A and B are shown apart, each in its own frame.
Chain A
Amino acid sequence: AYKRFSELLPKEERENACSARVPKSQILTLPELRANPFQHRICRVFSTSYEGDDSMSFEDFLDMLSVFSDSATSDIKSHYAFRIFDFDDDGTLDRKDLGKLVNCLTGQGEESRLSNMEMEQLIQNILEESDIDKDGTINLSEFQHVISRSPDFAMYGGLQW
């Protein structure tokens, strides 16, 4: 993993890779993240940078690897998945977040989006299934509850390094 990380740095900084920070544009060149529609959110969630530029240090990189590895518990994965899906960082998944999530999943471009009516129907169905206290948003506990019954999450939520 250290090798992968240092490859992302320009040559001069490779010596002290432990303390260097890799800018977001470099991180996104990783093949595992390149094709991922959540790449920006992943960088934002794992980055501990104070300037808000989403650059990642080696420790952030390790964090990301450990969460996505096969041996991470599903608690951890669901916790981080919730943070990744929460586009406005307000601690809950509301209708806007869900809408952005669905758009990410169906792909970029106008023709790959669902129609407004379909989107409404879909969001209504999702909230029906997962919103237990019926407040119109999904919080972390409800999310983890839904995920714990999802058989695909364990399989899909892993990256191969």
Chain B
Amino acid sequence: EVFLPEETRAAAPVDFLQELPSYQSALRRRAAAGGTQERRAAPQGSAGLRAAEARGPEQEGGELGARPAREYPLSIAEKRRLRDCQQADIKYLSGWKQWKTTSSKSLKKVLNEVKEFSSYLELWRHDIRSIEGKFGTGIQSYFSFLRFLVLLNFIIFILMFSFVTLPTVISEYGIFNSSFAKIAPKNIEPHCTVYKPSGNKGLVYFYTYFKDLLSGTGFLEVTALFYGYYTIDAAWLSIMRYNLPLAYLLATFGYLALSLLWIIKRSGEGFKQNLVHDEDQFQSYCNKIFAGWDFCITDPNAAQLKHRSLQYELQTDLEEERLKRKIADRTMKEKLCIYSLRIFINITVIAVLSGCFYSIYRATVFSQENSNVSIGHDIKTDSANLLVQYLPSMVITLANFIAPLIFSFLIRFEDYSPAFEIRLTLMRCIFVRLANIGVLLFSLWSQISYCATDKCKACGYNYELYPCWESEVGQEMYKLMIFDFIIILAVTLFVDFPRKLLVTHCSCKPVQWCGLQEFGISDNVLEIIYGQTICWIGTFFSPLLPAIATIKYFIIFYIKKISLMHTRKPAARPIRASSSNFFFLVVLLIGLILAFIPLGISIAHIPSSKACGPFRSFNTSWAVVPDTIRGFPTGLQQVLHSIASEAFAVPFFMVICLVMFYFIALAGAHKRVVEQLREQLVMVRFDPFFCTPKV
């Protein structure tokens, strides 16, 4: 073994590299974990590095607990020597410090074991690892994301179930000596409170159950699935009074806050990397070369694909760099030409989007006007009725399918660099998908709040057609979710598998040229984010929707996995895992924030229905909060009022701005220091005092 670590230490100007902030913070972290043992225990082989670290900042407080031997880059024989040294050193310590060292060591060991054990409890651990080995980490990140959504939806379901559904069910069935009260709302016109859901009574055909299952009407409407079931104003569980309306509202805010915090926490790590990464392709080449090979690959075919994809990636990046230089050399006339072309294409894109939105609006209005509860039990009219009910979902799915195709066709004329092209198309697709839901909700609301008569204005919403409008909205969200699931299933069964059969058995040119489809990560991710946004919006109107979402994503995991293994070929241009994770979470966050808007408007602006639901005696759903605050002691009321007033909010906002500017200034200062140090490092090479001749 010719290579010895100490030679490299002598050659490099180690001292100055230590000044770099990143190295300093790494040292600080290590010093907190390691201890004075380092200096004494350093064996001969790595004396240089250890001594250099010792010259670095001394650790505060004399933390004891030497770095475990496994953290040194030495062979096993040398590690044994190191461990013996450390053991010998311990004898020289006082009794208290000795106990501290040994106990911290055993604690670390226990923590490690716990961590290892808990990793066995991870859902689908083996499946995701095998996917990673065969298809790489880009696709694996998609499946991890899917697993994250299953968990998120399950937790949201537990939250809503335990705070909203469980107390309602308990009080309704009188378990534990509980009861409930339905307070008749005062000052409300009686015609607003009439609500007769037609849960299936009497003799019905079997297929009506199936139809009701698909459209959320009939027998499903009166179950705990929808808002209308929770028509309880106060519940008494044994002797405690349970304020159901307040609990409903707070549970809604709770699950939104929980989702927000969890997503932000998960994207925290990715954010730092991406921020650094995005600054004009910082370090992208080194990243690809040094960390490019995925050591998890065991299959020679996969290795071959990885080689090819790495080659492709490198060539594309180099070409992009050449393209950038060419763009910088464009003449004025060419620039004008390109910009006017881009403006024209953007106008086309906006026209396409408006077309989509208008068609969704018309479809929703048509569907609401023409779908009546079936009076005749004729299967033909019932199926037609079902189709009409599903019309908005179908139009949305169609728009989600066609719009991306149009965008990817148009962007070719805009002459951007390839990376920017992909990002822009992606942004446009995301916008289409999420805005479609918004348009659907907007058209629903315009129907609900459309008031012509005086009687209707007294209620605040269209009481004839929508006596319980929240259940209606819940039903629409339910239908969207079911339809989304059916489409994913149908596409896998009727498009992917036949295609695979065709490609394997038919050897004519056009079929072979088409080939197997790639696993398009972005398309699949947008699909599930679309489903998750529906779930977030719909949970307020249909508290058991997260359970359906959990089951749906659970099944989708297996569908996608089977489809991937059997019918897909890996993508020629892979997306990197680290930026993928961050990208998925950012889009999910966008979906969540877009979900706040319809919920906010429903809760605070639109009058709640007076015929059903826990908010009957309030103007809007939000009104329950000021009402509860009025019941607090006066002191607390005054505090809450002052927090919500302008006298507090404006200074608070200004302080936050100041803090933000401080951090921005600090970041700028750090950047300048890094630049200066880099220059110094270059100079050091020529400084005779520091320069050691390289062997």
Contact = CB atoms under 8 A, between A and B. Distances in A.
A157 B295 contact: yes
Contacts of B577: 152, 155
B115 to A, nearest CB: 9
Contacts of B578: 151-152, 155
B238 interface: no
A121 B321 contact: yes
Given A145-B23, A149-B22, A156 B75 contact: no
Nearest to A34: B300
Contact of A107 (B270, B292, B311): B311
Contacts, number: 182
Contact of A141 (B1, B17, B295): B17
A157 B293 CA distance: 8
A68 B296 CA distance: 10
A73 interface: yes
A27 interface: no
Interface residues on A, range: 35 or more
A63 B293 CA distance: 20
A101 interface: yes
Contacts of A66: 70
A39 B145 CA distance: 32
A75 interface: yes
Chain A interface mostly: helix
Contacts of B112: 71
Contacts of A134: 682, 685
Interface in A110-134: 112, 114, 118, 121-122, 125-126, 129-130, 132-134
Nearest to B270: A151
Interface residues of B, number: 66
Contacts of A151: 270, 273, 277, 287, 578
Nearest to B299: A35
A122 B308 CA distance: 17
Given A48-B75, A118-B315, A151-B273, A32 B298 contact: yes
A86 B3 contact: yes
A31 B285 contact: no
B318 interface: yes
A151 B112 CA distance: 23
A91 B3 contact: yes
Contact of B286 (A67, A91, A118, A129): A129
Contacts of B296: 156, 158-160
Interface in B493-516: none
A156 B71 contact: no
A55 interface: no
B76 interface: yes
A35 B300 contact: yes
A133 B684 contact: yes
A81 to B, nearest CB: 7
B680 to A, nearest CB: 10
A48 B314 CA distance: 35
B605 interface: no
B14 interface: yes
Contacts of A121: 318, 321
B295 A36 contact: yes
Interface string A128-154: 011011110001111101111111110
A128 to B, nearest CB: 8
A117 B135 CA distance: 31
Contacts of B71: 73, 75-76
Given A76-B70, A152-B291, 6 more contacts: A59-B77, A63-B76, A102-B289, A133-B681, A133-B684, A142-B17
Q: 10 nearest interchain CB pairs?
A: A107-B307, A35-B303, A151-B578, A79-B73, A151-B273, A106-B311, A153-B291, A152-B291, A59-B76, A139-B12
17 contacts: A31-B298, A32-B295, A36-B297, A76-B71, A98-B289, A105-B314, A106-B307, A107-B311, A126-B289, A129-B283, A132-B17, A135-B685, A141-B12, A145-B22, A146-B283, A151-B277, A152-B137
